[in-house]
Structure 1
Amino acid sequence: MLPSSRLLSTLLLLTLLSVACSEMPSQPPAPPPTVQQSLLQRAEQSIRRAQDSVPPLREALLIEAAKLFIQLGDEARVKRTLEVVDPSQLTGQQLFDFALLYSDALLEQGEYFTARDLLNDPRLDALFSATPLEQQKAWRGKRADLFSLLGEDESATQEYIVLSHLQAAAADIGATHEKIWQLLIDTPDKTLSTLETAAETRALKGWYNLAQLGRQYQGDLRQWAEQLILWQSRWPGHPAVLFPPPSQRQIEAVAKAVPGQLALLLPLSGKYARAGKTIREGFLSAYYNVLENEGDTAPLHIYDTNTADITKLYQQAVASGAEIVIGPLRKENLATLAALSELPAPLVGLNYLSTSAQANTPAHDNLLQFGLSVDDEARQIAHRAWLEGHRSALVITPDTKWAATARQAFHKYWSELGGRLISSTPYSLQQKDFSAIIKPALLIDQSQQRANKLRRTLGKSLEVRTQRRQDIDMVFIIAYPDQGRQIKPTLDFYYAQDLPTYASSHIYTGTENPGRNRDLEGIRFSAMPWTVPGIVSDKLKPADTLKSTYRNLFALGVDAYQLHQWADMMRAYPQTPFFGHTGTLTLGANDRIQHSYPWAEFHRGKVRLAPELKAD
């Protein structure tokens, strides 16, 4: 039977449609998700599932999502995700995962004390032995590093010792031992002696004993090398014998290369004679102290930089056999020598080059810059205050050039951290009444004006408490003791007694005066080590009769002598610390010796060490 015309028409239409469809361009398949997109999808899926789940599945899903956000580098979402985890619902592996992950997120946000509380959870201790080795090491390492950061050195030392026992690779053990060594060499002599007596394990007792030797003989590397060999024979099998800190391995080699003749370049006449002579006294005190302890000293020649061209003096010293030159003191003289194309003998300048002079200095292997640095103090104070939780600082400084430098340095470091700075009008060193400086800085007048306006508006007498500004959470002052004793009571009078107050080392010049220093109560400051009782030998401290403004120069002279032996060691191990009278010294960028300072505070009129940070 032939098909009907209607059927033929239908078949034709379907054929045409089929052809038309086959001629239409096909849509390309959707590209597969990128790795980043896939991770994000999985993380968000875990969070959605967690919202519909109950513990402990909910917590497991949140931790899984946090791990995915870590891979994505999304630190903010890591923290937000872990904040809603209920730690009480976690056990075993989950709890360790959470503690390690969340502590990293907290540290990234600067919440150091919260991280410490988390890592100190007693349940982690109880679960430790059943935890995989890698997690054990991660937990111990995090705790040790955090304790060290917060100034809890004794706890940090003990954690590092436990960590080293968990490690197998010699390089890892050596690196951990280096951390122990750097902590201990920065610990005061009396503290080390007390800790050694109280130590409950042979390993701990041996570490403290070794650190005491290091501090005792660091001014004479030859003696230190000999004493190190003797210590190793007395403590066979000790971890520091089996796996010495890397920096100690170089001591014997460096000791053999100690310079055989010294030259000291200082202004001993003219305008800067007082400063030059004070440094010379400190230098010679250290020099003769080595002789008194039956050590070896190199022949010493001293040159007055005020009597001749500085380049000729340097060349004369080298021609006379100097194997290392210490000085000069003045910046311009140091810049002149630093600009020379060659320095045939190593030079330890007793100052720091300006930014412009540094830019014009050719690369030298023989130049170190060492002096008293307000920049280092400003950096350390900013870092400490930030760690303790402060974010907005009122700064009070005198109207001197060096104080302006310190204020600018603090502003730089504080701003880099994210802090806010409010500066008061600089005060004169002859200032007696600080109300005119502090009252407007705290906006007291504005508070009183608001109270008066309220009384006028209401038409009656009101008891309204005057208040200081509330947008600051700390005070940083640069002041000598006499000014500090006026500034702190004035701050207290104008309702700022609750604000933590930080100060530079100028606030204390080493003279105990409990009666007068009660006006400095509570001030925390970066201290010159020689000023704090029990930190350095009394034999090498400046005389009480020396004018207070020159005492730090005496300490600089002491360190200049002791430091000259460590130049090669510092170049080999830039982070090798030298515990000096002007701070713990390490080699930084541009061959600059950097200082870090012990922390101290005024307590009942006396100065005491305050190494541990305080939570805001």
Structure 2
Amino acid sequence: MQAASFRLALLFFFAVLLAACGQLPERPSGPGPADPDIARAQQLEASGDHLAAAELYRALASRTPALEQRSIYLLNAAEASKNGGDWDGTRAALAQLAALPLPPTPALQRTLLQAEVLLQENRATEALSVLGDMPDAAQPRELRIRHQSDVAAAYRQLGNLLETANTLQNVDALQTDVDARLQTQTEILRSLALLNEQVLIQLQPSPPGVAGGWMELALLVKRFGSTPEALAPELAKWRERFPQHPALPDLLNNYQQRLQSQLQQVSRIAVLLPQSGPYANVAAAIRDGIVISSFEIDEVRRPQIRFYDATDPAGIWPLYTRAVDEGAELVIGPLQKDAVSQLVRAGELPVPVLALNQVDMSSAPPQNMYFYSLSPEDEARQAAERAWLDGSRRPLVLAPKDAWGDRLAAAFEQRWQSLGGSVAASGRYDPEGHDYTETLTHVLLLDQSETRHNEIQRLLGRRLEFEPRRREDVDAVFLAARPVQAQGMRPQLQFHHAADLPIYTTSHAWAGQLSTSQVEDMKGIFLADIPWMLNDGSNGDESRENVARYLPKSAAGFARLYAMGMDALRLVPHLKRLQSSRYESLDGSTGNLYMDEVNQVHRQLVWLVLDAQPQVLGYTPRLDLQETGTATVPVVAPPTAPSPTT
């Protein structure tokens, strides 16, 4: 029973908006049993046929002259339409309700419906404005719970996990049903656990109180989640420090049981990496990261790691079989796409595989095969999400004229279109060149401006003062570039009258810091990178100290690959947990790691604004946790680029 209740937590926000929301706590009664459609509509709702019920309520409203009763029928129609997934029906009913008078409780219900429509459209800021403050205590408890649940959903949609958790604490305080409280408390803990440890420490209130108790509990879960046997005594100590905390005993018990069932402890790991050929240097850096990460594990729990030469992709299946025969309980690798594809086609695998690349799949992969890589396409998609959340809607895409540029441009454009936007223009530049004038004048339509100028001069028969004007339907730039290209592109965008456009790029545009000349040319670019590149070691990171100690000469050039190797080993015990839900995550050196429905591990990256000392913006909200409807233009304007310095 506890396990069943715990699993329900994954559906908490959806359930609270669809099931709980649809139950009207104090629905005013109709004019009596005279009209059989009233009872029929209620029966249809009870049986789950919400759309038919909505139709009857609309019919009742259309033939009811009394304004107050008509408004109640319309309110019921809006609720039933929402519960049936007909958001257009909800909007239509709310539009008819807009001018009708309502008593306080139905008026609150109308407000909740209006906010829920906005949430369905991903318009969380507007939803919060509509919802306002906590309803009066005289309002029904169910509506107050629903109000705070909607507020929490809005904060989650905005990526404000702390306020999500704080608002859910209000929900928990209002609830009386133990199972409902367990779901809410699980969501509180889940929201806080998505924050990294440093943020949880910095935001700890003083004195801690209930909110601080939740944050400390989330810290314990993150720190000891890999070792349930160590977590149990820490939870006991936590309870001693917070004896009056509202966290239910079943919450902690369920979490421990779940960790025990999902953590994958292995004693023998095989690593399949090429030791020669074009991928040898990359593989060596990943290997070193794996070894460094193993130093973090207590000696008693440290797995035996054996490395195999996987230079030949064609021989990957015999090599995998050999590793299994020699006792491997889990395999990390292979690295090459061809080798990964062979294992995907092999069907069910006798032991789990964490492949270090991703491949296109026409069908679901084997259940125990996982994929982890430093995917450039993933970074391009995150750039699209960041620009979208910043308010941009008509970006310009600039990418080198090569296969790498095509991949990043396609990933950005596909993600942009899935969000509901359209790309204004896409241009390709010579990756070996330094003058991007031809590309920029074309995509910014400056060549058309020049053509118009020449035509007017010809018609008038005299020279005219002229300053070219770029197209006005562009509000951002996605730039796929290496450092040299990024350094050259921004000044040329400024020269070509696009200095006001914010530029978004991927980690490939810098090496982790800017030289003096790069600062002048690249200042103000928005870029995402892995936490490892932004960690200066001042927080006592053991892995960074080990890299500096054992790999002092080559650490800078292969930093991201070392971090990838470290996270590959850290992922091993958490693969089942991450597979269980997209809400599960793992703080890693390469980002906040989570898994999708085809076992692909994704990296949530840290955003920053480039400068001599980059301004760290933090993680961008994960839109995959929020996409419930068609995205719409927010009320906020997109950011403008910092003032040009050249």
TM-score, length-normalised on structure 2?
Answer: 0.77
Q: Is 2:280 the partner of 1:278?
A: no
How far apart are 1:519 and its partner, in Å? 3.6
Q: Please list the CA deviations of residues 502-544 of structure 1 after superposition, one character each: whole Å capped at 9, or x if unmatched.
A: 2233334433657733543443333322223489864334668
> 1:418-433 counterparts in 2 under 5 A?
418-433=420-435
Closer, same or farther: CA 39–90 of 1 in aligned 2, 3 Å: closer
Q: Is 2:147 the partner of 1:139?
A: yes
C-alpha distance in 2, partners of 1:85/1:491?
A: 50
State the partner residue of 1:267. 274
State the partner residue of 2:110. 98
Conservation of the 8 A alpha-carbon contact between 2:424 and 2:473: no
Query: Which of 178, 181, 196 lines up with 1:173 in the alignment?
Result: 181
How far apart are 1:278 and its partner, in Å? 0.6
- Matched to 1:396, the amino acid is L
Q: Please list the CA deviations of residues 398-432 of structure 1 after superposition, one character each: whole Å capped at 9, or x if unmatched.
A: 23433322322222232233221244332343332
Query: Which of 537, 540, 544 lines up with 2:543 in the alignment?
Result: 540
Counterpart secondary structure, 1:585 = strand
C-alpha distance in 1, partners of 2:194/2:540?
A: 14
- Matched to 2:597, the amino acid is A
C-alpha distance in 1, partners of 2:500/2:509?
A: 20
Closer, same or farther: CA 446–116 of 1 in aligned 2, 3 Å: farther
Greater alpha carbon shift after TM alignment, 456-465 vs 474-483? 456-465
How far apart are 1:158 and its partner, in Å? 0.9
Conservation of the 8 A alpha-carbon contact between 2:595 and 2:602: yes
How far apart are 1:587 and its partner, in Å? 2.6
C-alpha distance in 1, partners of 2:528/2:441?
A: 26
Closer, same or farther: CA 383–176 of 1 in aligned 2, 3 Å: farther
> 1:436-447 counterparts in 2 under 5 A?
436-447=438-449
C-alpha distance in 2, partners of 1:170/1:400?
A: 58
Where does the alignment leave 5 or more consecutive residues of structure 2 unmatched? 1-39, 42-51, 622-633, 638-646
Counterpart secondary structure, 2:349 = coil
- Matched to 2:213, the amino acid is G
How far apart are 1:327 and its partner, in Å? 1.0
C-alpha distance in 2, partners of 1:440/1:488?
A: 16
Conservation of the 8 A alpha-carbon contact between 1:190 and 1:534: no
Conservation of the 8 A alpha-carbon contact between 1:489 and 1:519: yes
C-alpha distance in 2, partners of 1:514/1:218?
A: 43
Where does the alignment leave 5 or more consecutive residues of structure 1 unmatched? 1-31, 51-55
Conservation of the 8 A alpha-carbon contact between 1:247 and 1:576: no
- Matched to 1:169, the amino acid is D
C-alpha distance in 2, partners of 1:489/1:412?
A: 28
State the partner residue of 1:329. 335
State the partner residue of 1:366. 368
Q: Is 2:492 the partner of 1:485?
A: no
Conservation of the 8 A alpha-carbon contact between 2:331 and 2:354: yes
How far apart are 1:273 and its partner, in Å? 0.8
Q: Is 2:159 the partner of 1:108?
A: no
Q: Please list the CA deviations of residues 420-469 of structure 1 after superposition, one character each: whole Å capped at 9, or x if unmatched.
A: 12443323433322333222111112123334434554566655553221
> 1:86-485 counterparts in 2 under 5 A?
92-119=104-131, 121=132, 124-125=133-134, 127-196=135-204, 198-217=205-224, 223-224=230-231, 227-228=234-235, 230-232=237-239, 234-240=241-247, 242-244=249-251, 247-255=255-263, 258-291=265-298, 296-306=301-311, 309-355=315-361, 359=363, 364-458=366-460, 465-485=467-487
Counterpart secondary structure, 1:526 = strand
> 1:544-559 counterparts in 2 under 5 A?
546=554, 550-559=558-567
C-alpha distance in 2, partners of 1:568/1:195?
A: 30
Counterpart secondary structure, 2:137 = helix
Closer, same or farther: CA 595–177 of 1 in aligned 2, 3 Å: farther
C-alpha distance in 1, partners of 2:557/2:433?
A: 18
C-alpha distance in 2, partners of 1:60/1:38?
A: 13
C-alpha distance in 2, partners of 1:472/1:319?
A: 58
- Matched to 2:307, the amino acid is I
Closer, same or farther: CA 520–183 of 1 in aligned 2, 3 Å: farther
Closer, same or farther: CA 93–471 of 1 in aligned 2, 3 Å: same
How far apart are 1:159 and its partner, in Å? 0.8
Conservation of the 8 A alpha-carbon contact between 2:54 and 2:76: no
C-alpha distance in 1, partners of 2:462/2:503?
A: 38
Query: Which of 583, 593, 597 lines up with 1:585 in the alignment?
Result: 593
Q: Please list the CA deviations of residues 100-155 of structure 1 after superposition, one character each: whole Å capped at 9, or x if unmatched.
A: 11112223334332223222x2xx33x33222111111111111121122122222
Counterpart secondary structure, 1:589 = coil
Larger radius of gyration: 1
C-alpha distance in 2, partners of 1:496/1:49?
A: 59
State the partner residue of 2:3. none
Closer, same or farther: CA 270–236 of 1 in aligned 2, 3 Å: farther
Counterpart secondary structure, 1:156 = helix
Conservation of the 8 A alpha-carbon contact between 2:269 and 2:330: yes
Greater alpha carbon shift after TM alignment, 483-492 vs 452-461? 452-461
Conservation of the 8 A alpha-carbon contact between 2:604 and 2:619: no
C-alpha distance in 1, partners of 2:66/2:453?
A: 55
C-alpha distance in 2, partners of 1:531/1:586?
A: 19
Conservation of the 8 A alpha-carbon contact between 2:398 and 2:479: yes
TM-score, length-normalised on structure 1?
Answer: 0.80
RMSD over aligned CA atoms reads 3.8
Work out the number of aligned pairs and report it.
567
How far apart are 1:272 and its partner, in Å? 1.0
How far apart are 1:345 and its partner, in Å? 1.8
